[in-house]
């Protein structure tokens, strides 16, 4: 593990966030838009977990833990809450896309747009 | 509905999935896990049954009325547990020191004792009930909807 | 009674959540019991809010630590920083709470008859109670992550409520746009909270404000927070979701959504004034918010001119009015570091913005409820098909006219009182902004005259000759808002001295906010 630079998880999180912004802004398929939001959530969750890392730390559980420092536990609690919220949001978005498809028959965000102006 | 081999194996596997999910819910205060995580494991068992048997079959075993009542009672149980300590403060852990889950563990590393944590394991059960019923209802509704049936409002 | 006041901030949120969880169970038994539960819990929360307001005006900031051995104990023994979730209610929060409780009661009473012909009403009222609880949580909390959680609760319930009429296609589209924008904004708020936590290891707003050194990462977090909250409140250039979402939702839901976006503006003010405050140089931030406000005013009113759908037009008027509030807040932020200018006109600008928030919720709520009453009777929102409805729907016409005149800033209604505060103070900052504001108000008046004459005045159309007035609960809800509009317009000095000034002082007083948390030893 020593030859991976310490800010590699942050680079990965930033890459995920950047790609997901590109998807949300430029892609026209509604399912791809939902996938972009799921990727944005994954990027932010990865960022939250990786900012709690302390060098040489173990998991923050007291049951039969080896000696040494522990990583921070609070960002893991924040990440868990964020994952639960995103499950609900993704379920809601999928339901709305199913209804849009039922009414208009297409998943293209240009064609399913009824409101203009 | 898939073939008979898949249905038989799914029936047998669901028992182990449910037991593992309940283990994750029950040990939420000493090992990784808790209400949502264990509930999501059990819902993956429900999804296995959904894929093996089809949504029409599963709708007979899990009617919408039962899921709604279980979900609401899980949430009401959570709220009542939170209100029960209102004499001191909201969410106060009033079970510490009492025989029900009331042990106080010594600080630092050591073997975990399940009879600790106070009101937290009970809240884990309440949240687990709500998650199982809620996510099963969501998954079942989406499966029924995509197979073309009109879900009642 | 004293213990009720001590626990009141969490009781408001907790009782509403408990009622929201009980509504599906009660709704299976009987509809009447469910309606009584919903209205009863909202009335109880409103009564507690007013009692808490009275207590705060006498005793100062109210702090509540969840799960502590005594409610005022924010920092437990042996700890140096606050580790529990702390609710901190000061003058500004309780003012937002008062607006939210009145708006929620009016909207729910309206929807008792407006939604009476729909199916799935139990789920509708469950989501309404969840949204109201989420709004209260966002206004009362003193913890950044708690703000994120309640922001998500409000957004998810709001999106589900917009899309609740599933037999139309445009409701699904409006709800989808709303949830996508809300989700992206909330994830960005979480990102900024992560950045702040990584620096200071604190999530509490008071403790963070004390520990804040304005490093590069903190500036990045400030920009992300302002952008995310601007997305949620519909400021230009991220306003595209607002007209779609507000126009297709059931109108009681739209009224709640307007007040929810006001609470996002409250979160923006809390971030800029309390979390960052005078430790940061906020002149540039203030100017960016002023520019966004000017653009909102222009684009809101020019897009409103060419609309033919009545609720879409009122939604663009919402964007225009948010622009006025943003200009007021921006002027206040730009002069925050300069005590002389702040005392001369900065405080008045912020007071005007806060007063306009109350008035905005009231008159936009009244306009949307009147438009909803029209939709309830004739089933269409298209202005080209309406005509001469004022002959039979007299009350609705009067309420719509009242809301329209208040929105354009005509004396003696409340819009004039708040807009004159904004005009006066912003004129001393930069005269151009006031001239733009007055011009935009004149165009708003022109737009609403067009709407009033095409919908209500003129010869009655033959296909609408059987249209009656709307049921009594709807008229009662609209009347409550109308009475408050007239009262606030006739006695603005009373409202400003008793309600707005304490809120402005509480918002600008960062030291008292920090002291209530960090210096609190019961």
Residue C215: count of CB within 10 angstroms of its CB: 10
The half-sphere exposure of C278 on its side-chain side, counting CA atoms within 13 A, is 12
Predicted confidence band of residue B50 (pLDDT cuts 50, 70, 90): very high
Chain C residues close to A51, C-beta within 8 Å = 194, 197-198
Nearest to B90 among C66, C69, C166 (CB): C66
State the Cα–Cα distance between residues C258 and C237, nearest whole angstrom. Answer: 18
CB contact under 8 A, C145 and A78: yes
Mean pLDDT for B41-58 is 92
Mean pLDDT for C104-112 is 91
Strand partners, C382: C309
Region for residue C241 given its phi and psi (left: phi exceeds 0; alpha: psi -120 to 50; beta: otherwise):
alpha
State the Cα–Cα distance between residues A110 and B150, nearest whole angstrom. Answer: 27
State the Cα–Cα distance between residues B90 and B97, nearest whole angstrom. Answer: 18
Mean pLDDT for C383-394 is 82
Global ipTM = 0.94
CB contact under 8 A, A62 and B145: no
B120 within a domain of the structure (yes/no): yes
B90 within a domain of the structure (yes/no): yes
Q: Hey, is the C-beta of A114 within 8 angstroms of any chain C C-beta?
A: yes
**Size of chain C, expressed as the number of residues it contains:** 522
Interval C291-326: pLDDT, tens: 999 999 999 999 998 888 899 999 999 999 999 999
Indicate the pTM of the whole model: 0.94
CB contact under 8 A, C67 and B89: yes
Exposure string for C4-14, b = 16+ CB within 10 A, e = fewer: ebbbbbbbbbb
Query: What pLDDT is attached to residue B149?
Result: 63
Sign of CA dihedral C205, C206, C207, C212: positive
Nearest to C21 among B75, B85, B92 (CB): B75
The three-point CA angle A98-A93-A44 to 5° equals 145
- Proportion of chain C above pLDDT 90, given as a percent: 45
Continuous segment of H or E residues that includes residue C62: strand C62-65
Q: For chain C, what is the mean pLDDT?
A: 89
Mean pLDDT for C85-95 is 90
Chain C residue with the nearest C-alpha to that of B93: C67
Q: Domain span at residue B131?
A: 4-146
CA distance B29 to chain A (A): 10
The structural domain count of chain B equals 1
Predicted confidence band of residue A58 (pLDDT cuts 50, 70, 90): confident
Chain C residues close to B91, C-beta within 8 Å = 66-67
Q: CB–CB of C172/A112 below 8 Å?
A: no
What are the tokens at A2? Answer: 């020593």
Mean pLDDT for C52-66 is 88
B74 within a domain of the structure (yes/no): yes
Q: Which of A35-39, C141-145, C169-173, C470-474 has the lowest mean pLDDT?
A: C470-474
Predicted confidence band of residue A4 (pLDDT cuts 50, 70, 90): confident
CB contact under 8 A, A100 and C172: yes
CA distance A117 to chain B (A): 32
Mean pLDDT for C437-446 is 92
DSSP B110: B
Is the pLDDT confidence value at C100 over 60? yes
CA distance C155 to chain B (A): 19
Mean pLDDT for B77-99 is 86
State the Cα–Cα distance between residues C376 and C387, nearest whole angstrom. Answer: 15
State the Cα–Cα distance between residues C243 and C311, nearest whole angstrom. Answer: 8
Mean pLDDT for C467-495 is 87
- Proportion of chain C above pLDDT 70, given as a percent: 99
State the Cα–Cα distance between residues B40 and B148, nearest whole angstrom. Answer: 26
> When comparing pLDDT for C27 and C380, which is higher?
C27
A3 within a domain of the structure (yes/no): no
**Strand ranges for C80-223 from DSSP E:** 86-89
Chain B residue with the nearest C-alpha to that of A98: B146
Predicted confidence band of residue B101 (pLDDT cuts 50, 70, 90): confident
Helix C216-233 / helix C169-200 crossing angle, nearest 10 deg: 160
Q: Where residue A64 sits, what CATH number does that domain have?
A: 1.10.287
Which of B41, B109, B147, B151 is the mutation pick for testing A, counting most A CBs within 10 A? B109
Is the pLDDT confidence value at C122 over 50? yes
Of these ranges, A57-61, B29-33, B66-70, the one predicted with the greatest mean pLDDT is B66-70
Nearest to A100 among C152, C160, C169 (CB): C169
State the Cα–Cα distance between residues C95 and C136, nearest whole angstrom. Answer: 11
CB contact under 8 A, B72 and C18: no
A51 within a domain of the structure (yes/no): yes
Is the pLDDT confidence value at C341 over 70? yes
> When comparing pLDDT for B9 and C68, which is higher?
B9
CB contact under 8 A, B89 and C21: no
Is the pLDDT confidence value at B107 over 80? no
The structural domain count of chain A equals 1
Interval C398-413: pLDDT, tens: 999 999 999 988 888 8
Chain C residue with the nearest C-alpha to that of B80: C18
Which of A71, A81, A91 is the mutation pick for testing B, counting most B CBs within 10 A? A91
Query: What pLDDT is attached to residue B153?
Result: 46
Q: Domain span at residue A33?
A: 8-104
Chain centre distance of CA C110: 18
End-to-end Cα spacing for chain C: 20
Mean pLDDT for C141-165 is 93
State the Cα–Cα distance between residues C243 and C304, nearest whole angstrom. Answer: 10
State the Cα–Cα distance between residues B74 and B25, nearest whole angstrom. Answer: 14
B52, B56, B60, B61 alpha-carbon torsion, rounded to 10°: 20
End-to-end Cα spacing for chain B: 26
- The per-residue DSSP string of C260-314 comes to HHHHHHHHHHIIIIIIIGGGS--HHHHHHHHHHHHHHHHHHHHHHHT--BHHHHH
CA distance C1 to chain A (A): 35
Pairs across A and B, CB distance < 8 A: 33
Is the pLDDT confidence value at C384 over 60? yes
Chain C residues close to A113, C-beta within 8 Å = 173
CB contact under 8 A, C183 and A78: no
> When comparing pLDDT for C344 and B27, which is higher?
B27
Is the pLDDT confidence value at C521 over 50? no
The half-sphere exposure of C142 on its side-chain side, counting CA atoms within 13 A, is 32
What are the tokens at B153? Answer: 């409002």
Residue B98: count of CB within 10 angstroms of its CB: 11
CA distance C269 to chain B (A): 28
Q: Hey, is the C-beta of A112 within 8 angstroms of any chain C C-beta?
A: yes
A94 within a domain of the structure (yes/no): yes
Q: Hey, is the C-beta of B115 within 8 angstroms of any chain A C-beta?
A: no
Query: What pLDDT is attached to residue C467?
Result: 78
Predicted confidence band of residue A112 (pLDDT cuts 50, 70, 90): low
DSSP A65: P
């Amino acid at each position: 593990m020593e030859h991976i630079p310490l800010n590699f998880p942050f680079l990965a999180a930033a890459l995920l966030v950047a790609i997901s912004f590109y998807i949300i802004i430029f892609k026209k398929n509604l399912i791809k838009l939902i996938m972009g939001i799921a990727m944005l959530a994954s990027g932010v969750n990865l960022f939250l977990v990786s900012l709690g890392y302390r060098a040489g730390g173990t998991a923050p559980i007291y049951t039969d833990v080896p000696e040494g420092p522990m990583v921070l536990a609070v960002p893991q609690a924040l990440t868990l809450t964020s994952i639960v919220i995103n499950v609900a949001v993704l379920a809601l978005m999928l339901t709305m896309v199913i209804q849009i498809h039922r009414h208009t028959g297409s998943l293209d965000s240009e064609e399913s747009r009824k409101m203009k102006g | 509905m898939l073939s008979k081999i898949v249905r038989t194996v799914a029936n047998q596997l669901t028992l182990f999935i449910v037991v593992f999910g309940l283990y994750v819910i029950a040990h939420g205060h000493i090992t990784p896990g808790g209400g949502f995580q264990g509930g999501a494991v059990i819902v993956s068992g429900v999804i296995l049954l959904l894929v093996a048997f089809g949504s029409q079959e599963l709708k007979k075993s899990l009617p919408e009325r039962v899921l709604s009542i279980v979900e609401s009672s899980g949430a009401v149980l959570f709220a009542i547990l939170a209100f029960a300590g209102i004499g001191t403060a909201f969410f106060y852990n009033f079970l510490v020191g009492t025989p029900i889950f009331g042990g106080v563990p010594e600080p630092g590393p050591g073997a975990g004792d399940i009879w600790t944590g106070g009101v937290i394991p009970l809240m884990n059960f309440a949240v687990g009930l709500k998650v199982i019923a809620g996510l099963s209802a969501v998954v079942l509704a989406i499966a029924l909807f995509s197979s073309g049936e009109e879900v009642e409002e | 009674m004293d213990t009720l006041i001590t626990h009141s901030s969490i009781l408001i949120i907790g009782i509403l959540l408990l009622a929201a969880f009980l509504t599906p169970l009660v709704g299976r038994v009987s509809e009447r019991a469910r309606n009584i539960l919903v209205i009863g819990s909202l009335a109880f929360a409103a009564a507690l809010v007013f009692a808490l307001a009275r207590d705060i005006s006498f005793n100062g900031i109210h702090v509540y630590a969840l799960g502590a051995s005594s409610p005022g104990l924010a920092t437990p023994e042996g700890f140096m920083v606050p580790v529990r979730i702390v609710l901190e209610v000061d003058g500004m929060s309780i003012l937002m709470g008062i607006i939210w409780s009145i708006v929620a009661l009016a909207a729910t009473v309206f929807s008792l008859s407006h939604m009476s012909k729909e199916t799935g009403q139990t789920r509708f009222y469950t989501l309404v109670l969840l949204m109201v609880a989420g709004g209260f949580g966002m206004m009362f909390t003193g913890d950044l992550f708690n703000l994120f959680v309640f922001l998500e609760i409000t957004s998810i319930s709001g999106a589900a409520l917009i899309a609740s009429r599933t037999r139309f296609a445009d409701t699904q589209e409006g709800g989808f746009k709303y949830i996508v924008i809300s989700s992206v904004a909330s994830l960005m708020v979480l990102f900024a909270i992560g950045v702040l936590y990584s620096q200071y290891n604190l999530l509490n707003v008071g403790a963070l404000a004390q520990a804040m050194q304005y490093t590069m990462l903190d500036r990045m977090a400030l920009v992300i927070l302002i952008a995310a909250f601007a997305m949620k409140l519909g400021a230009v250039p991220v306003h595209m979701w607002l007209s779609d979402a507000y126009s297709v939702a059931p109108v009681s839901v739209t009224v709640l959504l307007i007040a929810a976006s006001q609470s996002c503006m409250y979160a923006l003010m809390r971030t800029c004034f309390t979390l960052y405050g005078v430790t940061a140089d906020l002149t540039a931030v203030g100017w960016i918010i002023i520019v966004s406000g000017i653009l909102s005013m222009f684009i809101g009113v020019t897009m409103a001119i060419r609309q033919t759908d009545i609720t879409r037009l009122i939604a663009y008027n919402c964007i225009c009015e948010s622009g006025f509030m943003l200009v007021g807040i921006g002027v206040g932020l730009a002069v925050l570091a300069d005590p002389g200018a702040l005392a001369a006109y900065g405080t008045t600008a912020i007071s005007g913005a806060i007063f306009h928030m109350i008035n905005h919720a009231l008159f936009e709520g009244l306009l949307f409820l009147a438009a909803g009453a029209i939709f309830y009777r004739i089933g269409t929102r298209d202005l080209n098909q309406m005509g001469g409805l004022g002959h039979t729907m007299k009350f609705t016409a009067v309420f719509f006219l009242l809301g329209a005149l208040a929105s354009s800033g005509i004396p003696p209604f409340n819009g004039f009182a708040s807009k004159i505060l904004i005009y006066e103070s912003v004129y001393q900052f930069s005269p151009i902004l006031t001239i733009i504001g007055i011009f935009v108000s004149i165009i708003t008046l022109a737009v609403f005259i067009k709407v009033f004459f095409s919908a209500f005045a003129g010869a009655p159309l033959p296909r609408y000759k059987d249209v009656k007035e709307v049921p009594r609960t709807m008229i009662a809800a609209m009347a409550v808002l109308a009475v408050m509009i007239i009262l606030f317009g006739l006695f603005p000095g009373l409202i400003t001295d008793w309600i707005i000034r304490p809120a402005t002082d509480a918002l600008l007083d960062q030291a008292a906010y920090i002291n209530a948390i960090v210096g609190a030893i019961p």
